Structure 1
Amino acid sequence: MYQSPSNDTLKQWLTDVKTIAVVGLSDKPDRTSYQIAETMQERGYRIIPVNPMLKSAVLGETPYASLEEVPDGVDMVNVFRRSEELHAVVESAVKSGAKCIWAQQGVYDEKAAELAVENGVEIVMDQCLAVAHSVLMGGKR
């Protein structure tokens, strides 16, 4: 049964993470994925867009079609996909060497969480990254 990491653990993630791959990032500024990625970028994180539909830079960063294509690897994978797609994202995150996965509010899949844990990758689900960052870190890095 999935259990969310403790606030202390999440705070540690937010302290240690430098690069966040945003799976499902939109290039439309009115979309939640764009707004949250932009907020995290403003807070000092490098954002890597991951979306096969993107053909040009988003938030000043080159987009990639998949996590496996990101050349430098990532620390965290932030997921803006439907719950039924989380398992495939976790598989890719494991292959890409991500340290942790943050599935946004409304994104939840027990089997995907099991897969992450079995492969030594920590996961939080059904929480907004930017909100948690504000609460746990006061909006500061």
Structure 2
Amino acid sequence: MIDGQSDATIRDVLAGTRRIALVGASDKPWRPSYEVMRFLLDRGYHVTPVNPSLAGQQIHGRPVAADLAAAAPLDMVDVFRASAHVGALIDDAIRLRAQTVWMQLGVIDQAAAERARAAGLTVVMDRCPVIETRRIGPITPRH
């Protein structure tokens, strides 16, 4: 995989995460972010959707935050944005002391990933937690 993470690391990230900010959340049921958010909520994660265009509304019964700061505290930043937007999100994730940045399928920014790793964050890139959970097997969050 492009991020170099082992299955054990992916399992640890998913098991050790409790609070997720899902950046690029959509209220459209046909969008992948909508489905992934439902999947994560159904597994007991506390997910805050982040989308400035939808701030104040709700997705899956959860209030939408305008930005990462409004979604804090958080453990993981799950990114459903174009790769060009990742750098600023990484900087915010570092500032807000996230533990993990998870970039969804097709979202790749090696320079931002290196900055995150240098700050001590785990970086998962070009992967989907739904696909990884199904591939690795059931993961029970430790929270």
Same structural fold, with TM-score higher than 0.5 when normalized by the shorter chain: yes
Structure 2 counterparts to residues 27-106 of structure 1, below 5 A: 27-54=27-54, 55-71=56-72, 73-106=73-106
RMSD value, Cα? 1.5
Q: Secondary structure at the match of 1:53?
A: helix
Contact 1:4 1:123 in 2 (8 A): no
Contact 1:116 1:122 in 2 (8 A): yes
Q: Secondary structure at the match of 1:49?
A: strand
| Gapped regions of structure 2 (runs ≥ 5) | none
Runs of at least 4 residues off by over 4 Å = none
How many equivalent pairs are there?
139
Q: Distance in 2 between matches of 1:113 and 1:121?
A: 9
Scaled by the length of structure 1, the TM-score of the pair is 0.92
Q: Distance in 2 between matches of 1:8 and 1:56?
A: 36
Q: Percent identity?
A: 35
Contact 2:22 2:48 in 1 (8 A): yes
Structure 2 counterparts to residues 10-25 of structure 1, below 5 A: 10-25=10-25
Q: Secondary structure at the match of 1:81?
A: coil
Q: Distance in 2 between matches of 1:140 and 1:100?
A: 17
Scaled by the length of structure 2, the TM-score of the pair is 0.90
Q: Distance in 2 between matches of 1:107 and 1:3?
A: 11
Q: Secondary structure at the match of 1:135?
A: helix
Q: Distance in 2 between matches of 1:80 and 1:68?
A: 17
1:140 deviates by 5.1
| Gapped regions of structure 1 (runs ≥ 5) | none
